[in-house]
Amino acid sequence: MKILVDENMPYARELFSRLGEVKAVPGRPIPVAELAGADALMVRSVTKVNESLLANQSIKFVGTATAGTDHVDQAWLAQAGIGFSAAPGCNAIAVVEYVFSSLLYLAERDGFTLTDRTVGIVGVGNVGGRLQKRLEALGVRTLLCDPPRADNGDEGDFRTLDELVQEADILTFHTPLFKDGPYKSLHLADEALIRRLKPGAILINACRGPVVDNAALLKCLEAGQDLSVVLDVWEPEPDLNLALLDKVDIGTSHIAGYTLEGKARGTTQVFEAYSKFIGQAQQVALDTLLPPPEFGRITLHGKLCQPTLKRLVHLVYDVRRDDAPLRKVAGIPGEFDKLRKNYLERREWSSLYVQCDDADAATLLKKLGFNAVHHPIR
């Protein structure tokens, strides 16, 4: 059995070689000749999977180690009898921690307190839902917009996008990219929406580039609109608009989901799905794969205030470490993908064991996702 895996999928060789012969290949562009005789294809978001790639090939299963699936023509796979699995939620924690890292940086830079701000979350799924919980644990007011969930009768105080635009100081997008249909999200943030944002608002896009109309955003920023912007994703990728990068406050190379844990979960989820597909179902415990983190243990004295939380969050992951390298190489062909391929190891907050002498600090840090304990420190 021949299994093709994207070369940017940690632990793929280790796991898939339990099932057959593994060949690691680049995802953009994928070497089409390697598809010959292959039984399964494991991709990331950069590989377009459709009829033109797979017609008349031997592939029987496609896995994508990603949450988003807009690069995969699932309807064509289904009618061609090809099995499919994505990795829902694999990197949701990573995206939430990217958003927090960005907000805590902007709060320090601009001198505001997060608990004085209202955060509008557009798309309340794996990412948006976890973001809501962590923000609310911190005492930040959130407003939620998710028409598919609202129409489904899901529990929750769902508002219209218009209400969020009117009321939110921070608007953050976490929807899939739908190019059409009842829940079309292509250019959900168009020029009219961007213009109506509150003065001094923060706009974050860490889902898919085209959810925000990048040309319109640039137009508004060039016109001097009072708006801070965090973009992890671009329209288009990898050839992002350099003038826009120059205007945004934080710009990164589509790495919001790139914690080691997030990527490893993506690999294990598609591995488990494929092993089940071929009748050899098996489970993988994530902690048997992951190395020890760079920072293992820290003690925290006293209460948890915003500046302390910021220092703790940035000890694990400071988003500026990904902003600077993009500004340095953007526009050079191949460099956007190289930043992603050679991504410096990044861990999730849960990798940090925080011993607190204050019980409330420990409780809050635990709710936020740190591995925190209350323990009197002498």
Ligand X SMILES: NC(=O)C1=CN([C@@H]2O[C@H](COP(=O)(O)OP(=O)(O)OC[C@H]3O[C@@H](n4cnc5c(N)ncnc54)[C@H](O)[C@@H]3O)[C@@H](O)[C@H]2O)C=CC1
- Name the site residues for ligand LXYGBJRG (rule: CB under 6 A): 8, 44-46, 66-68, 91, 254, 257
257 contacts ligand X (rule: CB under 6 A): yes
71, 149, 208, 340: which is the annotated catalytic residue? 208
**Cβ 44 to ligand LXYGBJRG shortest distance, Å:** 3
Nearer to ligand LXYGBJRG, 120 or 266 (CB): 266
In the complex, least distance from residue 45 CB atom to ligand LXYGBJRG, rounded to whole angstroms: 4
Region binding ligand X by CB under 6 A among candidate stretches 74-82, 125-133, 312-320, 353-361: 125-133
115 DSSP assignment: G
C-alpha span between 3 and 24 (Å, rounded): 9
Q: How far is the CB of 264 from ligand X (least distance, A)?
A: 14
CA distance 353 to 293: 10
66 annotated as belonging to a binding site for a ligand:
yes
Q: How many C-beta neighbours within 10 Å does residue 134 have?
A: 20
Instruction: Mark whether 311 is an active-site residue.
Output: no
> Are the CB atoms for 113 and 306 separated by under 8 Å?
yes
Q: What is the DSSP letter of 344?
A: P
Respond yes or no: is residue 335 known to be catalytic: no
Residue (241 or 253) nearer to ligand X, CB: 253
Number of C-beta neighbours around residue 153 at 10 A: 7
Instruction: State the binding partner of 123 from ligand LXYGBJRG, ligand X, none, CB within 5 to 8 A by kind.
Output: ligand X
Q: Which of 28, 149, 263, 265 binds ligand X (CB under 6 A)?
A: 149
- 125 lies in the site for ligand X, by CB under 6 A: yes
Query: What letter does residue 42 receive in the DSSP assignment?
Result: E
3-state SS class at 30: coil
208 is a catalytic site residue? yes
Nearer CB in complex with ligand X: 95/339: 95
Q: Compute the residue count for the chain.
A: 378
194: which 2 tokens? 């961007």
Let me know: does 179 contact 211? Beta carbons within 8 Å.
Answer: no
Provide the token pair at 200: 């001094």
Catalytic residue annotation: 208, 237, 254
Residues belonging to the binding site for substrate are 45, 66, 258
